[in-house]
Structure 1
Amino acid sequence: MNLQKEALKTLKETSRTFYIPICRLPNGLQEAVTSAYLCMRAIDEIEDHPDLDNNIKGKILREISLILQSGHENITREEMTEAVKSYEHLLPEVSYRFGEWALLAPPTIAPRIWDATAAMADRMAYWAENNWKIKTKSHLDQYTFSVAGAVGLLLSDLWGWYDNTQTNREEAIGFGRGLQAVNILRNHQEDKIRGVSFFPEGWQLEDMHKYARYNLSLGDSYTKSLPKGPALQFCQIPLTLAHATLEVLILGKPKLTRNDVMTLVAQVCG
């Protein structure tokens, strides 16, 4: 099995939601987006790991960042995975194979993907080491940019790299922030159990819903600006699911059912 097939297999195991639109992307763009998604998912799993001390998380994430920053065209898989070697027995496959996912990126866009992953790993390390203390809306904006808004910018760069599609950067950031805000709402009770809250001081559920709706509206504008094609469909799927999730949360349900998800994805994909 070649690396792209292994990457898609891992993608399917970690996120069926993104597996569907990524599989529909054309060659070249598919490898780039797969690489970017799995690299981001790899470090996200480290940030969210339930059994790792926050300082250990910070150490691993910063080492990953440094490796990606020193990356060059002749870097090996072994060099790429050095940062996680000691923790391989604790980490999920998507995380301890992050070096392979990084090397999957086409050479002409790989430096941008590595740069974005390195920057995000550093930011995640900061938030883990500070136990995700969100006291103000500015802190919330900083966090949602760190882990999601920056992904919106990376996607815009990938669309531009592939077919010169131009997008609004602020709307791209809002696209990512909106998705993350919905995740915060969906996981709010679980986060409270582990002693973490992404709600600024004094905020209630209604405030976070308002924050999510505003950023999702930017995401709507972002997707409407995309021409018909793979990028549009790729972005429509998570955005549609985010809007629907927000609605079921308002009704007091914990999340969309798998049936709901597959129905909505089928509607977007036609």
Structure 2
Amino acid sequence: MSPSENPSTDLAYQKAILSSVSRTFALTIPLLPSIIEKVVGNTYLLCRIVDTIEDAAELNPQTKQKLSQLFLDAVLQKVPVEFFVEPCLEALNHYGNQDELDLIAHTPTVLRILHTCSEDDRAAVSRCVSIMSEGMSYFHGKQTQAGLQNLQEFEKYCYVVAGVVGELLTTVFSNHSAEFAKRIQGHEDLAIAFGQALQMTNILKDSPEDRARGVSWKPVGMNQEQLLAIAYEKLQDSLNYILLIPKEELGIRRFCFLAFGLAVMTLAKIAKQKEFSEKEEVKLSRKTVMTFYTFTKFAVNSDALMQIFFNQFSKSIKAI
């Protein structure tokens, strides 16, 4: 076995690159039980590769669609992974984010880790990446300055890039927690809302950056207030989702509540500002993030405390 095919070396790379490409998820994913941490961290990196292709302003929609398909074929083992890596790095030779390019170069490492996961977890990851990759391919041609056609298209976009991740998390959590699997039955739609709430937060927060590159993911004819009202409903569903997680599963609860709480606080900042021209204006400070991180240690033991947090911090969102 060569050093590059050593499972512990591969996992060390996964942890290291995760902290390079996402400050938030590098904070939340390690809270999960190790067996789930591996799957969720792996899925995040695979989704990040799809995201990188989407974000590459220099690529035309046809190139993006071709690379997305090659990536999906590599994940599903229909083609050797090199068939994706080489043309992708060539197409992105002017791309500015070196960490994301490094991740693409290490796609073989990420896929090796995937194949050490259980069959059930692998099936869930493959489904998630397939829906996301194919969904984003559909939206590659929809990138315009005006925005998405209508609310229905916006909801679909939020589903393929994030609602499907909520479904993946639910499947993986259920694979490893019989009690959660029992509780979530009949409430699976809450998982989609959880993912969509996080995505809506990102769309609103990143809108100045998107606008600068000539793209909008907001629906045409809908203003920030209307979108915040929809986000508030999805946040309510998200909290109900978290409350279904058994208290014995503290790591899972904390992972979800941390991501949820950061979204609530970000949307509250956005709601207080009618307009902002840079996402730095609504970005949470490191101190705020770390204070909330500490708070989650205690809050996840109490449904009431989580509810109080939401009621308090969502006032400005609800008031709109």
Normalising to structure 2: TM-score of the pair? 0.77
Letter paired with 1:85: E
- Offset from partner CA, 1:210-261 (integer Å, 9 cap, x none): 1111111111110111112221111111100000001111222422122222
The equivalent residue for 1:141 is 155
> Is the 1:245–1:256 contact (alpha carbons within 8 Å) kept by the matching residues of 2?
yes
> 2:162 and 2:82 mapped to 1: Cα distance?
24
Q: Which runs of 5+ in 2 are unaligned?
A: 1-7, 93-99, 274-280, 299-320
> 2:215 and 2:61 mapped to 1: Cα distance?
12
The equivalent residue for 1:117 is 129
Question: Please, which moves more after superposition, 25-34 or 141-150?
Answer: 25-34
The equivalent residue for 2:107 is 98
- Offset from partner CA, 1:54-106 (integer Å, 9 cap, x none): 321111011112232345xxx9xxx2242131232526222332342233131
Question: Please, which moves more after superposition, 241-250 or 36-45?
Answer: 36-45
Deviation for aligned residue 1:264: 1.4
Aligned match for 1:190, one of 209, 212, 225: 209
> 1:131 and 1:223 mapped to 2: Cα distance?
33
The equivalent residue for 1:245 is 266
- Which stretches of structure 1, 4 residues or more, deviate above 3 A after TM superposition? none
State the identity as a percent.
25
Aligned match for 1:266, one of 294, 298, 318: 294
> Is the 2:143–2:216 contact (alpha carbons within 8 Å) kept by the matching residues of 1?
no
Q: Which runs of 5+ in 1 are unaligned?
A: none
Count of aligned pairs: 264
Deviation for aligned residue 1:131: 1.8
- Counting only pairs closer than 5 Å after superposition, residues 63-212 of structure 1 correspond to structure 2 as 63-70=70-77, 79-88=80-89, 90=92, 92-105=101-114, 106-108=117-119, 109-131=121-143, 134-164=148-178, 165-166=180-181, 167=184, 168-212=187-231
Deviation for aligned residue 1:6: 0.8
> 1:81 and 1:157 mapped to 2: Cα distance?
30
RMSD: 1.9
> 1:259 and 1:81 mapped to 2: Cα distance?
42
> 1:205 and 1:158 mapped to 2: Cα distance?
34
Q: Secondary structure at the match of 1:2?
A: helix
Deviation for aligned residue 1:120: 0.9
Q: State which structure, 1 or 2, has the greater radius of gyration over its C-alpha atoms.
A: 2
Q: Secondary structure at the match of 2:262?
A: helix
> 1:241 and 1:140 mapped to 2: Cα distance?
22
> 2:27 and 2:214 mapped to 1: Cα distance?
34
Question: Please, which moves more after superposition, 6-15 or 194-203?
Answer: 194-203
> 2:142 and 2:154 mapped to 1: Cα distance?
14
- Larger relative contact order (Cα-Cα within 8 Å, sequence gap ≥ 6): 1
Letter paired with 2:41: T
- Counting only pairs closer than 5 Å after superposition, residues 43-58 of structure 1 correspond to structure 2 as 43-58=50-65
Letter paired with 1:266: T
Cα separation, partners in 2 of 1:259 and 1:49, compared to 1, 3 Å: farther
> 2:29 and 2:13 mapped to 1: Cα distance?
14
Question: Please, which moves more after superposition, 238-247 or 183-192?
Answer: 183-192
Normalising to structure 1: TM-score of the pair? 0.91
